[in-house]
Amino acid sequence: MVEFPDLDRVYENDELWQFFASRIPSTEQPDVETVLESENIAEDDLIALLKRFGKRTTTNPFELKYNNAIG
């Protein structure tokens, strides 16, 4: 991946990288609002949103997998 070329490096940033942010749908979509309410997910909890909605996307071929060791 261009944004993260070194697989052995830990990348840190104050904001969510666009690679990840693009996987989170608008929280104003009615279907997304329904999921947030039913699963008690705060619309400002980017990690929870990414975990819930970000596994796959049509914009790139990568699939995200959740690591239980991280939280």
**pLDDT tens-digit map of 43-58:** 999 999 999 999 888 8
pLDDT band of 69, cuts 50, 70, 90: low
The DSSP line for 4-42 is ---TTSPP--SS--HHHHTTSPPTTSHHHHHHHHHTT--
pLDDT at residue 57 in the model:
85
| pTM of the entire predicted model | 0.77
> Domain segments of the chain: what residues?
26-54
Q: Is the pLDDT of residue 71 over 80?
A: no
The answer to whether 4 touches 12, Cβ cutoff 8 Å, is no
DSSP structural state of residue 62: -
Tokens of residue 15, six digits: 């904001």
Average pLDDT over residues 24-33: 94
